[in-house]
Structure 1
Amino acid sequence: MSSAPQPAFTYADLFAGIGGFHAMLEHGGGHCVYVSEIDAKARDTYARNWIDPLPESSRPQVNTDITTATPAAGDVDVPAHDVLAAGFPCQPFSKSGMQRGMDEARGALFWNIARVLEDRKPAVVLLENVRNIAGPRHRHEWEVIIATLRELGYRVSDRPTLFSPHLLPPELGGTPQVRDRVFIVGTYIGPARVAAELAAGLKPEPVVPRAPVNGWDADDWRTEWILDDDSTITDLARYQLTDAEREWIDVWDDLVARHRRATGSKLPGFPLWTDHWVTESSLDPFELGAMPAWRRTILTKNARFYDEHRKVINAWFAAHPQFESFPASRRKLEWQARELESLWETVMHFRPSGIRAKAPTYLPALVAITQTSIYGPRARRLTPHEAARLQGLPLEFTFGDQKDPASYKQVGNGVAVGAAWHVFRTHVEQNAADLPSRLVESVLGASRTPETAVSSTRPR
């Protein structure tokens, strides 16, 4: 009886979410041996897409709380693996005593990752977190993370690798989403060699720069490339705009048109707050002086805008008496749509701070709340499946019968597949001499285009 072929490399997926790291590591030829995710609904989505389709003998070990598998003493309950990937939560570390390294990491979830690295020593560690983890407010946490990884024997840059999927062209796995994330990527070379390299001044650079790849112009993105045909969407009406929402847009769109006819130009880019459209001479300088500078600037600009376009604005108000009954947040507009001539040509967001309209190129970062992008030409919101596509997940990815708010939340917490693949592949290429040859050959032999890429479905 022949044994099953050995995978090129194995990996553990911690804080796994719905499988962004899984998608790109499988594309690189890896096989998942361990998954840890504490959120039951996210774990179900992960299993539905990545585990359940596998034969039972090939399924990874599933853990529901990594803290139970990483005791302070004794072996960790994680099998041996070549790559450890983790989109870990960032928790503040104690500053008591200003200690550094493993002792201080204790108590934060990063410590559980460190325990696995300490026991299993995978060849590569790949971590992902929000941009702020490397910012000034988290400088101490950042230093502890880097010091801990080096103490454990990983060659790692002390400068963050910051990257976003909108900087990648479609054929390399990019997607139309501005999603700046910090990646920390390290190769295991042992503590002694790490210390020697640092002593010799050999500090690795960030894996990739935050810059467009291969000359790609991010303004060439088109939101429509990640959209499904409306005819294929079950319960399409659930995502279409309500009558009230259409009215909000129609009324504002009339102002866009009136202003363009009167001036020949677009609306200004600062937030338009109609409740503060008064003459500049009526503004109280003492009240303005007591305000934060940002608010004072906006109110002054709005007053000047009203002074300059009073005739157009008053006629618009008169034509739409219902505008006064709109919710306060819908009486505000922020125009970022450049030279487009209608709100219905834009991508919109209904935010607590107002309606924001931008060109339908790349989208703002998905977040773990239901503040979903509205695609004006189709008068509807992105579906959870389209949000998953925006993260680079495959066409066949499914949330089953899960309720939409949970699906949007899971996608908003996820990892962008194309960005992660670009960073990981580049790191493997740069560190090939110190990595297992089977891992290097598999990753560098895989297509530069993840199987989930937008380029496989966008119009040619």
Structure 2
Amino acid sequence: MQRFKYIDLFAGIGGFHAMLDHAGGRAVYVSEIDAAARTTYEHNWVDPLPAAQQPALNTDITLATPERGEVGVPEHDVLAAGFPCQPFSKSGFQRGMDETRGTLFWNIARILEARRPSVVLLENVRNLAGPRHRHEWDVIIKTLREIGYRVSSTPSVFSPHFLPPSLGGTPQVRDRVFILGTYVGPTRALRETDVAPTVMRGPVDDWSVHDWDAEWVLDEDSTIDHLERYKLSADEVRWIDAWDDLNRSIRSATGLRLPGFPLWADYWQPQRSFDDLEVDALPKWKSDFIRKNIRFYEDNKATIDAWRRRHREFADFPASRRKLEWQAQDHESLWDTVMHLRPSGIRAKAPTYLPALVAITQTSIIGSRRRRITPHEAARLQGLPRSFGFANKREAQSYKQVGNGVAVGAAWHVFRTHVERDRDDLPPRLVKCVLSAEPNPSPDALSSLALDRERALARERSRGAAPSQAS
């Protein structure tokens, strides 16, 4: 089957590449300005190819898209870009293309205007579709329509945790905005504006997001080089053990789990110890939390006082480690949860799915493993295959590259859905490639336990039984 051609702009480490190659595409042009990310991209997606099949590599898209003269980008069928969102001029809602000038979206528009690929696939942060960026959103949609792309005015917001394992989902909550357009010419694009979003935000094929298990992206500890780098320090274990003892003690004494509001141990004192006027003078959110902590202490005074006597070292913990945010429902131990050591405190969550990987954040701690996830596991959380590797040796850089990336399964789902819906206006070769591809773009990103669990749940549903809790 003849492959379609695509270009990968603001390419990062290759999330779009992974799913577009799976879809039957061949990269003919790649642009990424960050040298470390570009090296990782080349290591995984370019270097393994024969020289004749390697895409052209670019470091700065602005150099290939001059205002006048030829655009230095080859012909292609699909343009994919995880572009940065920059504020546009608000000096009047003029012609979209003009207003984007000076932003990196203008460079994308310039390529679209010159090459007119059949499909444009753009990805951005959720906030692009929020009220603070309404102007930017309107300019982007207006510009795409003026160039000739039929697009929806309503953003497609999607996250990989809404997809079941068999369709490329992963246990990561990562809402992103996807903009998909089909080239139909300016006349039709400006007329055919009543277009539904490509996908709706929500679970696919009856998948329940509570059936995820963070363990499914993990490697066996015995296979991890330098495992000690990811293990918790003695201090971190001591902090968690102290809080875990309190958690168990409260449960034993009351039969109740910890409350959901932030626990601030420095305010566990009797009400008479505080000046009501001083508390009232604080921002309302803070005064509310303080009062809730005072009541929590008074309701559990004997248990907390006994716990303090057992953990006199607690008073010397850093201020941020004397705070706990319990979001783990009925799990009995902190060591059964996923944790994050945040400036606002230790946050414990149920191990069903992980928060979005971002460039700068607290790396998730898997309580059952007593360690942080590795860069390789973070890449699998993005839906990248087990064979994916980093070209650099700096772990902080690897985490950053993954955090800036595109979730492969989510991108594949919205792209395939768009091609299937618009198949009558797309080249048959492109449609055939995409729709004949396997439904899962990275079948080895998760352990086999994920598919086993999905099949078991499907059998339970078919028998009309209520699904059991995720293992």
Structure 1 length as normaliser, TM-score?
Answer: 0.96
How many Å separate the matches in 2 of 1:62 and 1:264?
A: 61
- Match of residue 3 from structure 1: none
Question: After alignment, is 348-357 or 95-104 more displaced?
Answer: 95-104
- Match of residue 66 from structure 2: 71
How many Å separate the matches in 1 of 2:183 and 2:290?
A: 55
Query: Is it true that 1:16 corresponds to 2:11 in the alignment?
Result: yes
SS in 2 for 1:266: coil
Letter matched to residue 54 of structure 1: L
Report the number of matched residues.
451
Q: Deviations over 1:304-342 (max 9, x none)?
A: 101101111111111111111111111100111111111
- Match of residue 188 from structure 1: 183
SS in 1 for 2:259: coil
How many Å separate the matches in 2 of 1:209 and 1:98?
A: 29
Q: CA deviation at 1:96?
A: 1.9
How many Å separate the matches in 1 of 2:249 and 2:6?
A: 58
- Match of residue 287 from structure 1: 278
> Of 328, 333, 344, which residue of structure 2 is paired with 1:353?
344
Query: Is it true that 1:166 corresponds to 2:122 in the alignment?
Result: no
Asked whether the equivalents of residues 78 and 119 of structure 2 are also in contact (C-alpha less than 8 Å), the reply is yes
How many Å separate the matches in 1 of 2:447 and 2:345?
A: 36
Q: CA deviation at 1:265?
A: 1.3
Asked whether the equivalents of residues 203 and 209 of structure 2 are also in contact (C-alpha less than 8 Å), the reply is yes
Q: Deviations over 1:253-291 (max 9, x none)?
A: 100111011011110011001112222344433223322
Q: CA deviation at 1:20?
A: 0.3
Q: CA deviation at 1:456?
A: 5.9
Q: 1:402 to 1:14 in 2, by over 3 A?
A: same
SS in 1 for 2:173: coil
SS in 2 for 1:187: strand
How many Å separate the matches in 2 of 1:137 and 1:223?
A: 33
Q: CA deviation at 1:45?
A: 0.3
Asked whether the equivalents of residues 346 and 375 of structure 1 are also in contact (C-alpha less than 8 Å), the reply is yes
Flag structure 2 segments of 5+ consecutive residues without an equivalent. Answer: 453-471
Asked whether the equivalents of residues 216 and 447 of structure 2 are also in contact (C-alpha less than 8 Å), the reply is no
Asked whether the equivalents of residues 159 and 176 of structure 2 are also in contact (C-alpha less than 8 Å), the reply is yes
Structural mapping, 1:235-246, within 5 Å: 235-246=226-237
> Of 229, 235, 243, which residue of structure 2 is paired with 1:252?
243
Flag structure 1 segments of 5+ consecutive residues without an equivalent. Answer: 1-5
Asked whether the equivalents of residues 170 and 453 of structure 1 are also in contact (C-alpha less than 8 Å), the reply is no
Q: CA deviation at 1:378?
A: 0.7
How many Å separate the matches in 2 of 1:235 and 1:455?
A: 22
Asked whether the equivalents of residues 418 and 453 of structure 1 are also in contact (C-alpha less than 8 Å), the reply is no
Structural mapping, 1:6-155, within 5 Å: 7-155=2-150
- Match of residue 431 from structure 1: 422
- Match of residue 329 from structure 2: 338
SS in 1 for 2:355: coil
Q: Percent identity?
A: 66
How many Å separate the matches in 1 of 2:139 and 2:288?
A: 40
How many Å separate the matches in 2 of 1:455 and 1:246?
A: 28
Letter matched to residue 215 of structure 1: D
Structure 1 runs (4+) deviating above 6 angstroms are none
Q: Deviations over 1:387-436 (max 9, x none)?
A: 00000000000013421000000000000000000000000000000000
Letter matched to residue 376 of structure 2: H
Q: 1:427 to 1:115 in 2, by over 3 A?
A: same
Letter matched to residue 26 of structure 1: D
How many Å separate the matches in 1 of 2:266 and 2:94?
A: 52
Structural mapping, 1:434-453, within 5 Å: 434-452=425-443
Q: CA deviation at 1:299?
A: 1.0
SS in 2 for 1:31: strand
Q: CA RMSD in A?
A: 1.2
